[in-house]
């Protein structure tokens, strides 16, 4: 296993020549087994960063290495070991949850797929939903189905954008527990973009604070809270956002 699941150097994305970069020369790394939080307000560059990591957006400059593979040259070597979920994408609504998981399991080349789907259904409490059309599910149920798709190939690197959005507190808590267990059991790295500061405090060993395309601060949640003299990550988030604007 490579020593770093994610290694990003001088990563920059400029959508329009002459305009401010959407992501501006960021650098960070995440080792296997660690959950790292990516925090920032709307337009901070979180989704752009995740899109570049996934290979669906080409960086203007910089280097991305995932699981030891250079994403510019060997993207398809890394992709079978990566997965993601995001509120910007859906699973096909006219397929059942089981059908969706079967299709994506086959795309990822998952062996013993039926057993893997049964396992995911148990862990994410999807058993009664497996044969329902994905489009007929509530938003919380869809989020769980999307998480099942994100875990179907047992990824060594998981990129999650708002993974517990739309979930009730009880289910969200179960999902956080599942992600903690998954990262520990599989030695998987997770990069998590979230606006839920409680979630970030609970899950993340390291937090990257983004603003205007840059990483403006980083550290463990406890270290950031202590550095800013605040009581929790929500206050730190607000502090950084408002201090920078002044």
Nearest to 151 by CA among 128, 193, 122: 122
Task: Report the alpha-carbon distance of residue 57 to residue 34 in Å, rounded.
Answer: 24
Q: Kindly tell me which residue out of 7, 86, 141, 194 binds another protein, with binding defined by CB under 8 A.
A: 86
Of the residues 8, 44, 82, 130, which one makes contact with another protein according to CB under 8 A: 82
113 makes contact with another protein (CB under 8 A): no
Q: Does 154 bind another protein (CB under 8 A)?
A: no
Cα atoms in the 13 Å half-sphere on the side-chain side of 12: 12
Q: Measured from the CB of residue 204, what is the shortest distance to another protein in angstroms?
A: 22
CB atoms within 10 A of CB 146: 22
- Is the Cβ–Cβ distance between 82 and 108 less than 8 Å? no
Contact segment (CB under 8 A) with another protein among 105-113, 169-177, 195-203, 221-229 equals 105-113
> What is the Cα–Cα distance from 69 to 224, expressed in whole angstroms?
31
Instruction: Measure the CA–CA gap between 243 and 50, rounded to whole angstroms.
Output: 26
Segment contacting another protein by CB under 8 A, of 38-46, 53-61, 166-174, 180-188: 53-61
CA 152 to chain centre: 15
User: Under a CB-based contact definition with an 8 Å cutoff, are residues 210 and 44 in contact?
Assistant: yes
55 binds another protein (CB under 8 A): yes
Site stretch for another protein (CB under 8 A), options 85-93, 114-122, 204-212, 236-244: 85-93
Which two three-digit tokens encode residue 114?
């039926």
Total residues interacting with another protein, rule: CB under 8 A? 35
Candidates 78-86, 171-179, 207-215, 224-232 — which segment interacts with another protein by CB under 8 A?
78-86
For residue 102, state whether it binds another protein (rule: CB under 8 A): yes
Judged by the rule CB under 8 A, the positions of this chain that interact with another protein are: 15, 47-48, 51, 54-58, 76, 79-80, 82-84, 86, 88-96, 99, 102-104, 106-109, 133, 149
């Amino acid at each position: 296993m490579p020593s770093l699941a994610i290694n990003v150097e001088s990563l920059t994305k400029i959508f329009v020549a002459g305009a401010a970069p959407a992501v501006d020369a960021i650098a960070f790394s995440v080792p296997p087994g660690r959950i790292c939080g990516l925090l920032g307000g709307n337009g901070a560059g979180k989704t752009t960063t995740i899109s570049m990591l996934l290979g669906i957006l080409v960086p203007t400059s910089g280097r991305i290495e995932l699981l030891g593979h250079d994403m510019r040259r060997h993207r398809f070597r890394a992709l079978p070991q990566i997965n993601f979920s995001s509120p910007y994408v859906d699973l096909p609504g006219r397929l059942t949850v089981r059908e969706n998981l079967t299709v994506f399991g086959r795309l990822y080349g998952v062996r013993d797929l039926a057993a893997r789907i049964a396992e995911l259904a148990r862990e994410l409490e999807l058993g009664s939903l497996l044969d329902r059309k994905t489009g007929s599910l509530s938003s919380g149920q869809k989020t769980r189905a999307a998480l099942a798709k994100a875990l179907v190939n047992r990824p060594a690197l998981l990129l999650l954008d708002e993974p517990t959005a739309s979930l009730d507190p009880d289910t969200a808590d179960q999902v956080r527990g599942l992600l903690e267990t998954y990262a520990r059991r599989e030695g998987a790295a997770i990069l998590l973009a979230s606006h839920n500061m409680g979630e970030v405090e609970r899950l993340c060993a390291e937090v990257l604070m983004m603003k205007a395309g840059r990483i403006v601060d980083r550290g463990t949640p406890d270290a950031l809270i202590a550095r800013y003299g605040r009581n929790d990550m929500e206050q730190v988030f607000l502090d950084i956002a408002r201090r920078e604007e002044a």
